[in-house]
Structure 1
Amino acid sequence: MKKDTIFEFFRILAEHNPAPETELEFSNTYQLLVAVVLSAQATDVGVNKATRRLFEQVTTPAQMVALGEEGLKEHIKTIGLFNGKAKNVIALSEILVRDFGGAVPEDRDTLTTLPGVGRKTANVVMNCAFGAETFAVDTHVFRVSNRTGLAKGKTVDKVETLLDRRVPQPFRRDAHHWLILLGRYTCKARTPECWRCLVVEQCEYRAKTPEPKAKAGVSRKAGAVIS
């Protein structure tokens, strides 16, 4: 995808959704960190369902440590891999209390030293909490970047590097949110819904899918890629 096309790609997405945000629910940076750790191989919807009551009780690392691993498991047992995630959340909370005065460090490299926090998680926290121009490459961002021709790479690290190199201002801070939403709701894994995609003209995917034929007597309304 050429520079002019990339600019237009993001301009259109920005026009339709000027202030995209993560769909994870949280009230402070610590809760965001916990939610992102829990979201690995899980849906945001599932994480939000599990953390609503948890986050009413726990707003700080010290409160999480007091809750304990077994107490945390009771809240998140509907989330995949909850045993390992509970262990990591308690461990990272202990470190935050012991080494950082209960604050989440505003540094990506430091964040990745915490249990259960990989580069993607750190990128999300840096972006959503601290406004950093980071590119968190999840399965949606990886798929959309490759399929559209925006940033073709065989690995997550390669796609992240290309996005960092190619995404222009003023779109850098919000780019990964637009890509996630595009992949989650329109540019889906099995069958991309190209017929209702806002950026179909900029996309380089050749096998674009046509709109399914409506059944007799049933009207179809085309949805927007991002509400």
Structure 2
Amino acid sequence: MSKASYITLAPVRPLAMVMPKLLQHVSKPVKGNFFRKSHLVNARELLERVFNQNEQSIGIFFLHPDADISLGVESVALLRITVTVKSSHYQLLTAARTGRLREEFQAKLGWLLGNLYNRPATPDWNEYEGGPEQLKKLINRFAQPEATSANDKEIGWIDDVLVDIAQKLGKRLEDLDLADLETLRPSPVLDRALEAVRQQVETVFPELEKDGVQKLLNRLRNNGKFTKLLTKEPIP
């Protein structure tokens, strides 16, 4: 059997570093590394596939932190970005190697690389004791980091209503910080409805005292039937 003439290498990068580009597979950024909040569920599903080594289309392989191989943070091998070297460098590469995958994950890596349709019997998170809880925490950590500004290492989520309002007003989201965007948030539907009622009552019954009008508004605010109507048919 003839030996391969070349060896293919793939880079490994911290997951946090590639998260902005990774999320672009499920959501288009609206401002820097900030995305529509309605797409958060898609991001969580993507991360679950990544952590379970079941993401076939993007070409990444998840690696747990391991101090023994100098891998300090959650990382991914980027299988679509490769470098080819001559096989004569094999001994040098093996000498520099710090670790290797267990056999079952070697099979999964081979499956991903070959884009096969059969699934090797590698364990998922839900097959380990406490695995589902650990998976949920890991997804939360990367899908919803505590970011207050957009930069190369942070992602965030912006309510769709704020994105839509800014776009309707012709504002460039890139020019607005998060505080500016928040000022565009409309008042709750109930507050807007009660303000509309106030204006109509004061117009039709100008003789009514303000205390009386306020009592009416308070009763409407605490009236279950009234508030339920608003949830069925929001005021634009």
TM superposition score category, shorter chain reference? under 0.3
**Structure-2-length-normalised TM-score:** 0.26
TM-score (norm: length of structure 1): 0.27
Query: More helix by proportion, 1 or 2?
Result: 1
Q: Compare the two structures and name the one with the higher strand fraction.
A: 2
